[in-house]
């Protein structure tokens, strides 16, 4: 442990962001952004080969405000490591995809790099105070990405996104403070250490435990987002620029799921009526899956459809969480990873279509395959992955979630299978048929296909989706070790 | 020696006069003057207590307060003059652009 | 020796797929040669492996995948027969494609997709566990989507591709649910060393530990998948629409590959079906009904390929019917069904390729515009006649042996259970089959041309596969009908079958029932009868059909509109219920109610702020007054304590 790798991983994009903000030429900003976002990926891969997934691999601890027990403590294990990998894959590819951006380029790349810093911070913080700071840091660049580069209703969307998710995180903050102060009163010394607080939590009084649990749960599932707290998502996505949507869907949503695994799972058995809580969470998961799928079917706007598909897919994470079965829990983590990759392709496709055809309304498109064969190929790949085709990473995740969960959540799994899967295939293929196949709509005028960098980015993503669909082991083993460790301390039923 | 209560009573009366003036008057200069009365009522209190208890700290604070009041009056009049140049009035009821 | 390379059976076509996809334009014949060579190699390995296990033994190879899942290869007699058939028919179709697709600009894509399709189907055939089976099964569905929508510029092709994928997906959902329920039941079962939970052998060994009611659920869910893939009622609607692809694709889908996957699934998991008390009866009824139902629609179709499509649905019904009779006949029906599957693969591929040749030569697809093509297209005409004879089960063609065996099995079922319905379905469907296929043949090849067209015979790369298939359709049954079922009998051990039958409560018949002479010759009689009827109506024109073929005849209208399936499935279920009612209602709830509440809360807050901000008058004195009031309140509170509050 010679170099503080995790800090470095955040420091480099941070410095890159600053350089990018002050850079004068477009090229300078672009090159800085690419380099600063790729170095963390290299560090991640290096760490990947060293880290032991079953224990917390504490990389660094420094005192920050010792009087209040606030430390700068970072660490990774099997739960967080794959998500950090995901973040460091997605951000560079998003920057490469967005190389064509012309409006205020330096700020644009700077904000994307700041997102990278925030997301890595959330996934690696082991101190609640630090965790919350990074959690909030991710909001701000996204607000600006939506409100500066967004679509026609960008102000409404940006404010709605900010306030909605901010209220959720404030509720979460209150719960964190409650944890902190009560634990302080009990142990006699202050500490924001997540693992420490989770250890103290069981000795709280039942009512307090329930209140803290639900407050944190609210904070996390709004971020996921789960029905009925999902309505900020379609609005934010529709107005956000492509790169913003990609980061939002691929990374920011995953923070909610991560919170469930990291924080909620050890707390779950301590709630007063655990089986009821599990039922509620399972219902939220199933409703998100089925309802999200039907809503996606109803959409006229391609991007909104993809946004609702995110709601639907993140429902599997909730369902896997509620199952409390190692297989299913690992599947839920895998779903986070897999959805992060797949949704990038989908949003990038929407972005390219918007850019080229100047509309995303499905019925106004048509026959785009004739003008955009490369896009159609990659987009079809993404759509098929999204609808859970075997051989792609999404299938692994969904199959394992459902197979594992059948043992504890029989009826919910059946509802998901019968209500969700066929409809999911339906909206994907129907949209594909109307937008891409058939007769070309001449009103669209001149249409050009993908630029080279866009194709590179999407092709790499598609290859990764297929790679992790055929050979899940590299990521799966990590998650499995993480899930087993997590469930080893959880005794319910 | 005059009992302390008399000083306090006088100070209270002055304070009430000052408050009444601030709330009821329209003219900015009058309000400033009422403000001075308020300050001086407080100073009177400080001095009275100081001499009653034989503690000089109160006298020192009164001196501070007088110095600050002078500065405050200077700034206040300067603002009012500037205001008068722009708006041709120092009636504070008309100077309400900082509302909702 | 060959069996050590069994993995190449799947791998070679996949390599062909990847290479053709990326470098297709630079390869000889735009990838056609590569596709043909790889599939031929796959056929050689399959055939070699079959020869090696012919006298006993199976090929088993397995590797760890991830979590508790493995992947592996199982080649037993059933799989070997399937592999040989699939690779051989695919090979012939690829050869034919080189000629048929010669003028299509998208040849590389065509050969890439067909290679992947074949690979997927071979993967289904040699899977050793149900999950891997499912994955290749889905891949088959994907390829069918790509190939049916091959001419994506045609809106009807894009729609048909989507329909095929979605309808089979409904079946796949059931199949997946079946796998999950199966896992639920066997997850605590201790797996012997080297085996794996979802492996077929493990599943069969675990049968006795699963409650029969659960077995019925599992098998019916599996059968749901088979219904989707094999186009059985009520999920058959995608199959006739799938004719939008190139004719070679139709041949591939409807003869060699995709549609047989469902039959293969039931055959593959036959012991589980047998162990369930009711599942096979459902299989028999659905199969028999589909055979009859589809044949009725075949009678009135005018598109040459649609007739063949309904004929496929109908023949698949026969195969299911055969499997269903297994509750009486036992494991022998796997051989019977597979025998019909393979002979059907030959003659149906032949029929489609002949139809393709006709379409290619006449540039027509509507039977009403054809006629008298025999003079110009001798090879096509004669080979198609052979195929038609095989389809209608007239001796000594392959179809005669295979269909006769099925009807005999259905008779055994009748004789032992007293239930005549499956047998009746089979016989009536056989009569209709014979009528519609000769109607097609006479309308195409005899009489006078009904429109002005210029016919020419197709090139040798197309006619040679026709001749090869015709030879097979003629002599395959004669040559193989004994050896075949003897070979396939080794697929499942007798012990396993007896045990499964016992769990399911079935009494297997020890010896064949011998029908009376009339019934014994019944299949031939109805076959010939159908030929004669068609000959009289469509060649000699003895009867005037105009009174029957009229829009005023409700039965004719019903058939011509295909029982209004389009109205029921697409317009009512898909568009009205799923889209209009569920999806748009959900959209309304989401935008108006859920999001309305959110926006409502923010609106209320804004309005409250709107009211409260009036306090901010901007007048200094008001603020001062508030300050004074505040101080007074504070003082009162301080001096009088809780007395006030």
Q: What is the CATH number of the domain that holds B81?
A: 1.10.287.3510
Asked, for residue B99, whether it belongs to a domain, the answer is: no
C59-66 and A57-65: which strand pairing? unpaired
Q: Where are the domains of chain C?
A: 272-560, 565-643
pLDDT score of A460: 93
CB pairs under 8 A between B and C: 33
Average pLDDT over residues A121-147: 91
* Contact (CB<8Å) B99/C618: yes
Among C616, C620, C625, select the one facing B92 at the smallest CB separation: C620
* Contact (CB<8Å) B23/C624: yes
DSSP secondary structure, C359-372, as one string: HHHH---BGGG---
pLDDT score of A212: 92
- pLDDT mean by block of 10 residues, chain C; 645 residues: 80 87 78 85 87 80 79 85 87 82 81 88 88 89 87 83 86 89 80 73 81 86 89 83 82 77 88 84 88 84 83 88 83 83 85 83 76 76 85 81 83 82 86 86 78 74 81 79 75 80 76 71 79 77 66 71 72 73 80 84 89 82 87 85 55
pLDDT score of A489: 67
* Contact (CB<8Å) C621/B24: yes
Does pLDDT of A1 surpass 50? no
Closest CA to C270 of C202, C204, C197, C183: C204
Does pLDDT of B64 surpass 80? yes
Which chain B residues are Cβ-neighbours of C614 within 8 angstroms? 100
Asked, for residue B15, whether it belongs to a domain, the answer is: yes
* Contact (CB<8Å) A390/C135: yes
Among C613, C617, C624, select the one facing B96 at the smallest CB separation: C617
Please tell me whether residue C276 adopts helix, strand or coil conformation. coil
pLDDT score of C550: 65
CA A10 to chain centre: 18
* Contact (CB<8Å) B23/C620: no
**Chain C contact probe: residue of B23, B42, B91 with most C CBs at under 10 A:** B23
Burial class (CB in 10 A: 0-12, 13-18, 19+), C154: middle
pLDDT in tens, A238-269: 889 999 999 999 999 999 999 999 888 888 88
State chain A's mean pLDDT as an integer.
Answer: 88
Residue A93 binned pLDDT confidence (cut-offs 50, 70, 90)? very high
Closest CA to A73 of A56, A85, A90: A56
What is the interface pTM, i.e. ipTM, of the complex?
0.86
pLDDT score of C512: 66
DSSP secondary structure, A180-232, as one string: HHHHHHHHSS---BHHHHHHHGGGS-HHHHHHHHHHHHHHHHHHTT-TTS-TH
Asked, for residue B18, whether it belongs to a domain, the answer is: yes
pLDDT score of C643: 56
* Contact (CB<8Å) A299/C587: yes
Residue A491 binned pLDDT confidence (cut-offs 50, 70, 90)? low
Residue A493 binned pLDDT confidence (cut-offs 50, 70, 90)? very low
pLDDT score of B12: 93
CB B15 within 8 A of CB B8: no
Asked, for residue B48, whether it belongs to a domain, the answer is: yes
Closest CA to B92 of A383, C622, A202: C622
Give the DSSP H or E segment for C341.
helix C332-362
Asked, for residue B97, whether it belongs to a domain, the answer is: no
**Residue A46 CB: number of other CB atoms within 10 A?**
12
Among A421, A425, A437, select the one facing C152 at the smallest CB separation: A437
- Scored b (16 or more CB within 10 A) or e, C303-336 reads ebbbbbbbbbbbbbbbbbbbbbbbbbbbbbbbbb
Distance CA C6, CA B81 (A): 100
Residue in chain A nearest C69 by alpha carbon: A400
Rounded to the nearest angstrom, the minimum Cα separation between B78 and chain C is 17
pLDDT score of C255: 65
Total structural domains in chain B? 1
pLDDT score of A252: 92
Q: Where are the alpha helices (DSSP H) in A249-273?
A: 253-259, 265-267
* Contact (CB<8Å) C618/B22: no
Q: Which own/partner pairs from A156-163 qualify as long-range (CB within 8 Å, at least 24 positions apart)?
A: A156/A235, A156/A239, A157/A235, A157/A236, A157/A238, A157/A239, A157/A240, A158/A236, A158/A239, A160/A232, A160/A235, A160/A236, A161/A232, A161/A235, A161/A236, A163/C602
What's the token pair of residue A41? 């990926």
Q: Which domain holds residue B66?
A: 4-87
Residue in chain C nearest A472 by alpha carbon: C66
**Chain C contact probe: residue of B31, B83, B89, B98 with most C CBs at under 10 A:** B98
* Contact (CB<8Å) B23/C625: yes
Among A228, A370, A418, select the one facing C153 at the smallest CB separation: A370
pLDDT score of C398: 81
A335 interfacial to chain C (CB closer than 8 Å):
no
Cα separations in angstroms, A185 against A203, A271, C560: 12, 21, 82
Distance CA A75, CA A6 (A): 8
Percent of chain A topping pLDDT 90: 34
* Contact (CB<8Å) A437/C184: no
What's the token pair of residue C569? 């499935």
pLDDT in tens, A8-60: 888 999 999 999 988 888 888 888 899 999 999 998 888 888 777 777 777 78
Which chain B residues are Cβ-neighbours of C606 within 8 angstroms? none
Does pLDDT of B100 surpass 70? no
């Amino acid at each position: 442990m010679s170099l503080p790798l995790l800090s470095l991983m955040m420091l480099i994009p941070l410095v890159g962001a600053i350089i990018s903000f002050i850079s004068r030429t477009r090229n300078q900003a672009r090159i800085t952004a690419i380099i600063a976002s790729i170095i963390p990926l290299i560090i991640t891969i290096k760490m990947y080969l060293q880290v032991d997934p079953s224990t917390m691999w504490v990389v660094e601890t420094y005192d920050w405000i010792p009087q209040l027990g606030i430390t700068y403590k970072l660490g990774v294990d099997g739960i967080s490591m794959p998500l950090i990998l995901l973040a460091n894959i997605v951000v560079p590819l998003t920057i490469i995809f967005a190389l064509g951006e012309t409006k205020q380029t330096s700020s644009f790349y700077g904000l994307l790099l700041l997102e990278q810093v925030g997301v890595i911070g959330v996934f690696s913080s082991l101190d609640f105070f630090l965790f919350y700071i990074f959690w909030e840091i991710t909001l701000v660049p996204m607000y600006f990405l939506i409100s500066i580069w967004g679509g026609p209703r960008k102000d409404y969307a940006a404010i709605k996104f900010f306030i909605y998710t901010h209220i959720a995180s404030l509720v979460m903050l209150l719960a964190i403070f409650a944890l902190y102060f009560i634990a302080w009163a009990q142990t006699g010394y202050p500490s924001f250490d997540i693992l420490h607080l989770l250890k103290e939590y069981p000795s709280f009084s039942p009512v307090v435990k329930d209140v803290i649990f639900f407050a944190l749960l609210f904070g996390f599932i709004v971020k996921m987002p789960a029905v009925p707290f999902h309505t900020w998502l379609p609005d934010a996505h529709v107005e956000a620029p492509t790169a913003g949507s990609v980061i939002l869907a691929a990374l920011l949503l995953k923070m909610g799921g991560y919170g469930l695994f990291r924080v909620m799972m050890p707390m779950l058995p301590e709630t007063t009526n655990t089986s009821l809580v599990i039922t509620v969470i399972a219902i939220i998961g199933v409703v998100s899956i089925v309802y999200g799928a039907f809503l996606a079917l109803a959409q006229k706007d391609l991007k909104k459809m993809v946004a609702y598909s995110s709601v639907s897919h993140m429902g599997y994470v909730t369902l896997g969480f509620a199952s409390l079965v190692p297989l299913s829990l690992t599947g839920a983590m895998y779903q986070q990873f897999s959805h992060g990759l797949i949704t990038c392709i989908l949003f990038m496709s929407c972005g390219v279509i918007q850019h080229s055809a100047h509309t995303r309304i499905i019925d106004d498109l048509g026959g785009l395959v004739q003008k955009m064969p490369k896009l159609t190929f990659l987009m079809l790949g993404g759509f098929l992955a999204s609808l859970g085709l075997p051989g792609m990473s999404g299938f692994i995740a969904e199959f394992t979630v459902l197979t594992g969960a059948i043992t504890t959540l029989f009826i919910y799994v059946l509802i998901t299978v019968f209500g969700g899967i066929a409809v999911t295939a339906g909206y994907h293929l129907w949209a594909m048929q109307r937008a891409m196949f058939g007769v070309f709509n001449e009103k669209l005028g001149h249409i050009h296909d993908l630029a080279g960098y866009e194709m590179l980015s999407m092709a790499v993503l598609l290859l990764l989706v297929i790679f992790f669909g055929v050979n899940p082991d590299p990521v799966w083993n990590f998650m499995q070790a993480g899930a087993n460790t997590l469930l080893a301390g959880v005794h319910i039923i | 020696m005059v009992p302390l209560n008399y000083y306090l009573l006088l100070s209270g009366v002055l304070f009430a006069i000052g408050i009444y003036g601030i709330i009821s008057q329209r003219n900015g200069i009058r309000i400033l003057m009422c403000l001075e009365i308020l300050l001086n009522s407080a100073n009177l209190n400080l001095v009275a207590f100081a001499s009653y208890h034989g503690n000089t700290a109160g006298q020192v604070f009164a001196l501070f307060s007088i110095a600050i009041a002078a500065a405050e009056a200077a700034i206040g009049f300067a603002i009012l003059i500037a205001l008068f140049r722009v708006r041709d009035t120092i009636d504070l009821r008309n100077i309400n652009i900082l509302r909702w | 020796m060959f069996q050590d390379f069994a993995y190449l059976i799947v791998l070679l076509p996949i390599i062909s797929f990847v290479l053709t996809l990326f470098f297709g334009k630079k390869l000889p014949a735009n990838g056609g040669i590569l596709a043909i060579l790889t599939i031929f190699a796959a056929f050689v390995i399959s055939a070699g492996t079959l020869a090696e296990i012919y006298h006993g033994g199976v090929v088993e190879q397995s590797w760890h995948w991830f979590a508790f899942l493995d992947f592996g290869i199982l080649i037993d007699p059933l799989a070997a027969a399937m592999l040989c058939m699939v690779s051989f028919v695919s090979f012939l179709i690829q050869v034919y494609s080189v000629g048929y697709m010669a003028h299509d600009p998208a040849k590389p894509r065509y050969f890439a997709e067909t290679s992947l399709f074949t690979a997927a189907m071979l993967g289904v055939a040699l899977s050793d566990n149900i999950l891997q089976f499912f994955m290749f099964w889905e891949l088959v569905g994907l390829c069918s989507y790509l190939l049916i929508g091959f001419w994506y510029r045609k809106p009807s092709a894009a729609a048909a591709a989507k329909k095929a994928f979605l309808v089979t997906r409904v079946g796949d959902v059931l199949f997946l649910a079946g796998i999950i329920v199966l896992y639920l039941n066997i997850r605590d079962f201790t797996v012997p060393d080297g085996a794996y939970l979802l492996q077929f052998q493990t599943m069969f060994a675990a049968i006795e530990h699963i409650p029969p009611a659960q077995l019925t659920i599992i098998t019916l869910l599996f059968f749901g998948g088979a219904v989707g893939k094999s186009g059985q009622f009520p999920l058959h609607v995608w199959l006739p629409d799938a004719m939008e692809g190139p004719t070679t694709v139709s041949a591939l889908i409807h003869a060699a590959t995709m549609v047989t996957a469902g039959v293969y699934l039931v055959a593959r998991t036959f012991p589980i079906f047998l162990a369930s008390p009711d599942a096979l009866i459902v299989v028999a009824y659905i199969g028999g009904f589909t055979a009859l139902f589809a044949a009725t629609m075949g009678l009135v179709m005018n598109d040459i390929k649609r007739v063949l499509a309904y004929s496929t649905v109908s023949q698949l019904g026969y195969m299911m019917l055969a499997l269903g009779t297994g509750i009486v006949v036992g494991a022998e029906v796997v051989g019977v069904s597979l025998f019909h599957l393979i002979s059907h693969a030959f003659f149906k591929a032949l029929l489609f390729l002949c139809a393709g040749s006709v379409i290619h030569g006449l540039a027509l697809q509507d039977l009403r515009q054809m006629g008298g093509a025999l003079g110009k297209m001798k090879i096509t005409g004669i080979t198609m006649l052979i195929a038609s004879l095989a389809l209608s089960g007239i001796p000594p063609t392959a179809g005669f042996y295979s269909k006769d065996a099925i009807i005999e099995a259905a008779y055994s079922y009748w004789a032992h259970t007293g239930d005549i319905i499956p047998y009746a379905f089979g016989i009536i469907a056989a009569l209709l089959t014979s009528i519609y296929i000769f109607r097609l043949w006479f309308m195409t090849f005899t009489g006078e041309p009904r429109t002005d067209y210029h016919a020419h015979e197709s090139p040798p790369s197309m006619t040679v596969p026709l001749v090869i298939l015709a030879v097979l359709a003629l002599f395959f049954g004669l040559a193989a009908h004994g050896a075949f079922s003897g070979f396939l009998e080794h697929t499942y051990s007798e012990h396993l079958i007896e045990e499964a039958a016992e769990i399911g409560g079935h009494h297997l018949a020890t010896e064949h029932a011998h029908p009376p002479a009339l019934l014994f010759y019944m299949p031939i009689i109805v076959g010939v009868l159908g030929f004669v009827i068609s000959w009289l109506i469509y060649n000699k024109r003895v009867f005037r059909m105009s009174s029957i073929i009229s829009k005023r005849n409700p039965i004719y209208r019903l058939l011509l509109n295909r029982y209004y399936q389009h109205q029921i499935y697409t317009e009512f279920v898909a568009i009205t219920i799923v889209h209009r009612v569920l999806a748009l209602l959900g959209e309304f709830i989401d935008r108006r109610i859920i999001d309305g509440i959110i926006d409502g809360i923010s609106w209320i807050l804004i309005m409250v702020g709107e009211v409260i901000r009036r306090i901010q008058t901007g007048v200094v004195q008001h603020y001062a007054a508030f300050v004074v009031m505040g101080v007074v309140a504070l003082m009162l509170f301080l001096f009088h304590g809780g007395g006030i509050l």
